[in-house]
Each structure stands twice: as structure tokens, then as C-alpha cells.
Amino acid sequence: MPNSNSDGSRTARSRPTIRDVAAAAGVSKSLVSLAFKEPQRVSERRRELILRSAQSLGYQPNFLARSLAADGSPFVGILVVNLHNPIFAEIADAVRSELDARGEYGLITSATIANDRSPTEPYGRIDSRVIAMLQDLRPKALIVVGTVIEHEALSSGIPTVYASAAPSPGSGYSSVRMDDVSGIALVLDHLQGLGHAQIAFTGGQGSAVAKSRETAYIEAMRSRGLVPRVQSAGFSEHDGYTAAQQLLRSSTPPTAIVSVNDISAIGVLAAADEAGVRVPDQLAIVGFDNISLSGLERISLTSVDPQNQLIGRLSAQAVFDILADPEAPRRENLITPSLVVRRSTVAKPSSGSTSPSG
């Protein structure tokens, strides 16, 4: 009967180690380590012997472990807070591409456990185990993509940049996001140009960005001599649907609704369809983020484009700036958006981005 403790069985059950390679090559463990870390310091004969032994055992050096033992982690962490919104995947991909162009590694993970049905945690909660993992891996820096409800759960001591989100006041973190004031101005100029005056806003719940867009809407409406009308809501499709239902069932329904993001605006479209309200003839609808779904023929949602690719690239650049000068003051980079006009506000399809006009 074969010995269950044979080398073949051991290899099948676990990864070979540097100690196994040293034993097979008949050299010290430190020489094997040196052969992989600084091969030029090992004679050609011994180096070839070690490499052949490693290959026969199927050994691969642990890149991350070697890096941590030397100069610290070789990667920049990309923490995508919300996996349900396509905008964050687009930004994270742009971040990783920019890091790669500069010879850096980007490790993407998520730390949010979704809990949409809980009224106390509508956006989920941060998984402390993921944060602990990031702390243990000691990334060079961390780029947080999206809104974080539990700011205090984030890892401290790691240079951090927020992408498409606003950090807590006084946190000392840099951020790159859309200029909400400019975005709201584009929307209201467009809707006013189409003759709308009864313009409602759905949103405001859940984050600094949501509140920023609500505040920008209220101030812009008042500056135009219009009466603001806010239906408090979150970011989800269900939130937009519920808020729109309340607005459309009122005695004085609005003729236009601006949603805090595209996902909730899709919920507004569904509520209008259910109520038999024709879009855009009886109700114009505008969202924020210009996600790919908004451009689908069936949806055709007018949306504020925050320049997601640019946000991703500049967030990566902000990390490089911090690493180059850790003492430099942190800054907020506000990106000027554009407006993409589609059938949810204009009956005929638009060719693409427009300046704020009818």
C-alpha cells in the first residue's frame, strides 16, 4: 500500500514551499530565496539547479509575501463600495488602467455587505474583515470608489483618495468627484429651456454626495425664482420608484423629476409607466451618472455625465501625488460634467452630449 506521507501525496494536498525546493536541490533555504530575489548573486550552476528543482515541484515564489518582507505591499487597494451601480465598476476600471500605465498594481475588492431590506442599513454595511485584510496587507494607498456610510470603519494610516464620493469633513482625505452645482445647473437650464417650471427632486438620503446634489438643486431652483420640491429618497431603483409614486399621486404632480442618480431615475421611469404618465410628453425625467443602461434604446434616459474615466484617472494621479509628497495638503478635485440628452426629456433622440440648452 502506498505511503500516504509520500512527496507525491504531500504535493497534491498542499503547495510546495521554499524549504521543499532547498531539500530537493541540496542547498540552503536562504540560497533558494536569494536565487529568486537577486538571481545575479547566485552562480549559474546553482541557480539552474534551484530553478529545475522548483519547476519539478511546481513551486512558485510568493510575490506578495516577498514584497511585504522587503519594501511593503506592491499594490494600491481599490475598494469598490457598491457593486450594484455600474458607475463604480467603470471608475474602478479606469483607476486600474491608470495604475497599470504607471507600472503599479491595482487590487480591487469590495467591503459592503448588501442589506437593502433593512431600513436602518439601506446601503449595507462595511465588512470589518475586509478592512482588517487591507490593514494586514498594507497597500501603498487606498482608493475608495463610491459612498461609504461607515467612514469610521475604514483603515487608518493608509493614504486614501475618494473617487466619486465625498469623505467625512476633517478626514484629511483627498477626493475626485463631479461638481454637483454645475451638474444641477445643466439639468435646470435644459428643463427650463423645454418650458418646465414644476421640477421636483428625488434623493438626498445616504451620503454627502446625495446631500450635495439636493442642496445644489434647492439653491439653483430658488436662484431661478422657482419653488423647490424634494421627495426624500435613496440611490436604489426601488427608492426612485417609491418617491415618484408619491409625487405623481399628489394633487399637483410635477412636470419634471430630477433623480439623484440613474439607478433611481430608472425607478422613476417605471413609476411613470405604471401610472400611465407619458414620458416625456407629460413628465420629463433626468438622472445623474450616465451609466451604460441609460443609453439603452428601451430606457433612453437623459443624464448628467460626470466623466467617469477622468475621475478614475485623476484619482490614481492623486495617489501618485500623495506617495511623492506625503506632507502635501489634501485637496478636492471637482470635475465639470456634461449633459447627455435622450428621449426621457426630448421626444426625438439626441445625437449625444449638448451644452445646456433646449
- Do 226 and 148 fall within a single domain? no
- Do 198 and 343 fall within a single domain? yes
Q: Tens digits of per-residue pLDDT, 312-347?
A: 999 999 999 998 998 888 888 999 999 999 999 998
Q: Are 189 and 172 in contact (CB under 8 A)?
A: no
- Do 257 and 154 fall within a single domain? no
Q: Tens digits of per-residue pLDDT, 213-235?
A: 999 999 999 999 999 999 999 88
The separation between CA 202 and the C-alpha centre of its own chain, rounded to angstroms, equals 22
- Do 142 and 267 fall within a single domain? no
CATH code where residue 301 lies: 3.40.50.2300
Q: Tens digits of per-residue pLDDT, 239-268?
A: 999 999 999 999 999 999 999 999 999 999
pLDDT band at 305 (very low <50, low <70, confident <90, very high): very high
pTM over 0.85: no
Q: How many domains does the chain have?
A: 3
Give the relative orientation of helices 18-25 and 44-57 as an angle to the nearest 10 degrees.
Answer: 120
- Do 198 and 301 fall within a single domain? yes
Instruction: Give the residue-averaged pLDDT of 280-306.
Output: 96
Taking the C-alpha atoms of residue 104 and residue 175, their distance in angstroms, rounded to an integer, is 20
Given a cut of 60, whether residue 210 has pLDDT beyond it is yes
CA distances from 52 to 23, 35, 57, 139 (A): 13, 12, 9, 33
DSSP track, 72-133: S-SEEEEEES-TT-HHHHHHHHHHHHHHHHTT-EEEEEE-EE--TT-TT-TT-EE-HHHHHH
CATH code where residue 57 lies: 1.10.260
- Do 328 and 282 fall within a single domain? no
Taking the C-alpha atoms of residue 82 and residue 281, their distance in angstroms, rounded to an integer, is 34
Q: Are 137 and 73 in contact (CB under 8 A)?
A: yes
Q: Is 354 buried (19+), middle (13-18) or exposed (0-12) by CB count in 10 A? A: middle
- Do 211 and 323 fall within a single domain? no
Is the bond preceding residue 329 a cis peptide, omega within 30 degrees?
no
Domain assignment present for 57? yes
- Do 114 and 216 fall within a single domain? no
Listed residue (140, 200, 195, 117) closest to 320, CA to CA: 140
Q: Which domain holds residue 18?
A: 7-61
The cell for 4 is 500516504
Residue 12: its pLDDT value, please?
43
- Do 208 and 278 fall within a single domain? yes
Domain assignment present for 246? yes
Grid cell 529568486 in the structure block, residue: 36
